[in-house]
Chain A
Amino acid sequence: MFHSSKLVAVLGTLLLAAAASAQNQPTTYIYDAYVDNQTTVNTCSAAENVNLNGTIRFSYQVTPDSSGVNHFAITAANNLTGVGQTTGANYTAAESNEYDANTPDSSKEMTVELSSDLNSQGASASMTLVQALHVTVDTNGSIAAEVVSNNTSCGGAN
């Protein structure tokens, strides 16, 4: 189940953003990975499975400096809904984080974490969702990304 979900995420649509209007500004490349019925477990109560759906938008810019080092600035922003498979509880999450890397290489591969509040839309307790994201980008605008794992902990905003 989760394996197939990861494949779905990998097959998300690759979008190339319009070139920046100012000539000197780097191009922003955009990739939407679809989260399609990925499962996480509510570790705070009854170990209930929660199905996640929505998107994670990956965008990045790459800027070379005078010494030949490429500065990759990657942003991951999720927009998710979740449904508890036993209780029917509904959740939403919307968070972003930026991940920067400096390298002389023409590509960058990293696995990072995106932590977001999984906000309950009812009486259930909210949680914190931590998504491990595997991202590969290069100087030509190619990007590949997938959700490696979805884990929860107690203590999301209420």
Chain B
Amino acid sequence: MLHQSRILAAVVLIAVLTCTPLAIANNGDPMAVTKYQQDTQITDQVVTNDCNGEQVILNGTMHFDYFFAIDADGDRTHYDVTSTERLTGVGQTTGARYVSSEKFHENDITRFGQASDTRQTFKSRLVAQGPTPDLITRHVVRVIINRSGSIVVNIDKSTASCR
């Protein structure tokens, strides 16, 4: 089941929706900024509550706002990613319902035009819509962005716990 959820969650995002050139200064070194955003659907992703073994099916969206800035001589690239996760969940045994809305932010600086390749754990609270305790989900998410604006997101692992 986890394997299935990984497959479903391993969403590859390449489309570019917006592109907004700007100009800012950083330490006196002008930078060119390009902004992008991307939505992707999370469909029937299954996580297991490790406190009681119940499977919870998640649906919703992950929204990515990201930009990168390149300094004038091109040796430093500043990547900025904000991810907003909005999910609903349904427990497959109890029928308990959950709602999650979390935002994550990360900056990464690379040199000489290298892509940003990072991985971290996104911790979210699935708020129960009733007497059931809340759940905490942890998604290990790898994000790769290059200077053409392409983004690849892969959820390497997802877990859920009551604490």
Contact = CB atoms under 8 A, between A and B. Distances in A.
Interface of A: 95, 97-105, 109-113, 115, 128, 132, 155, 157
A102 B143 CA distance: 11
Contacts of A105: 110-112, 114
Interface size class of B (residues with CB under 8 A): 20 to 34
Contacts of A155: 125, 127, 134
A110 B111 CA distance: 12
A98 to B, nearest CB: 6
B114 A128 contact: no
A105 B116 CA distance: 12
B120 interface: yes
14 contacts: A95-B123, A97-B121, A97-B123, A99-B118, A100-B120, A101-B119, A105-B110, A105-B111, A110-B106, A113-B106, A132-B105, A155-B125, A155-B127, A155-B134
B17 to A, nearest CB: 24
B116 to A, nearest CB: 8
Contacts of B114: 103-105
Given A115-B123, A155-B125, A101 B118 contact: yes
Contacts, number: 52
Secondary structure at chain A's binding surface: helix, strand, loop or mixed? strand
A84 B110 CA distance: 39
A99 B81 CA distance: 14
The DSSP consensus for interface residues of chain B is strand
Contacts of B163: 157
Contact of A100 (B109, B110, B118): B118
Contact of B108 (A98, A110, A115, A132): A110
Contacts of B127: 155
A95 B138 CA distance: 13
Contacts of A157: 134, 136, 163
Interface string B131-163: 000101000001000000000000000000001
A96 B104 CA distance: 15
B106 A112 contact: yes
Nearest to A157: B163
Contact of B120 (A97, A103, A109): A97
A113 B118 CA distance: 13
Contacts of B104: 113
Given A110-B107, A111-B108, A113-B104, 20 more contacts: A95-B123, A97-B121, A97-B123, A98-B120, A99-B119, A99-B120, A101-B117, A103-B110, A103-B117, A105-B110, A105-B111, A109-B109, A110-B106, A110-B108, A110-B109, A111-B106, A112-B106, A128-B125, A155-B127, A155-B134
